[in-house]
A and B are shown apart, each in its own frame.
Chain A
Amino acid sequence: QKEVEQNSGPLSVPEGAIASLNCTYSDRVSQSFFWYRQYSGKSPELIMSIYSNGDKEDGRFTAQLNKASQYVSLLIRDSQPSDSATYLCAVNTRDSSYKLIFGSGTRLLVRP
Chain B
Amino acid sequence: DADVTQTPRNRITKTGKRIMLECSQTKGHDRMYWYRQDPGLGLRLIYYSFDVKDINKGEISDGYSVSRQAQAKFSLSLESAIPNQTALYFCATSDPADNEKLFFGSGTQLSVL
Beta-carbon contact of A46 and B101 below 8 Å: yes
Beta-carbon contact of A44 and B56 below 8 Å: no
Within 8 A of A (CB), among B87-109: 90, 94, 96, 99-107
With A88-B43, A98-B100 already in contact, 17 other A-B pairs whose C-beta atoms are closer than 8 Å: A8-B40, A36-B102, A42-B106, A42-B107, A43-B106, A44-B90, A46-B101, A49-B99, A51-B99, A97-B50, A97-B56, A98-B94, A99-B45, A99-B48, A102-B42, A102-B44, A104-B41
State A97–B27 Cα separation when bound (angstroms): 20
Q: How large is the interface on A (under 10, 10 to 19, 20 to 34, 35 or more residues)?
A: 20 to 34
Show the binding face of A for B, using Cβ within 8 Å: 4, 8, 32, 34, 36, 42-46, 49, 51, 88, 90, 92, 97-105
Query: Which A residues touch B45, using CB under 8 A?
Result: 99-101
- Across the interface, A92 reaches (CB within 8 A) one of B44, B100, B105, namely B100
Show the binding face of B for A, using Cβ within 8 Å: 35, 40-45, 48, 50, 56, 58, 90, 94, 96, 99-107
17 contacts between A and B (CB under 8 A): A4-B42, A32-B99, A42-B106, A43-B105, A43-B107, A44-B43, A44-B90, A44-B102, A49-B101, A51-B99, A97-B56, A99-B48, A100-B45, A100-B102, A102-B42, A104-B41, A105-B42
Listed from nearest, the 10 A-B pairs whose CB atoms lie closest are A104-B42, A43-B104, A102-B43, A98-B100, A102-B42, A43-B107, A44-B104, A46-B101, A43-B106, A32-B99
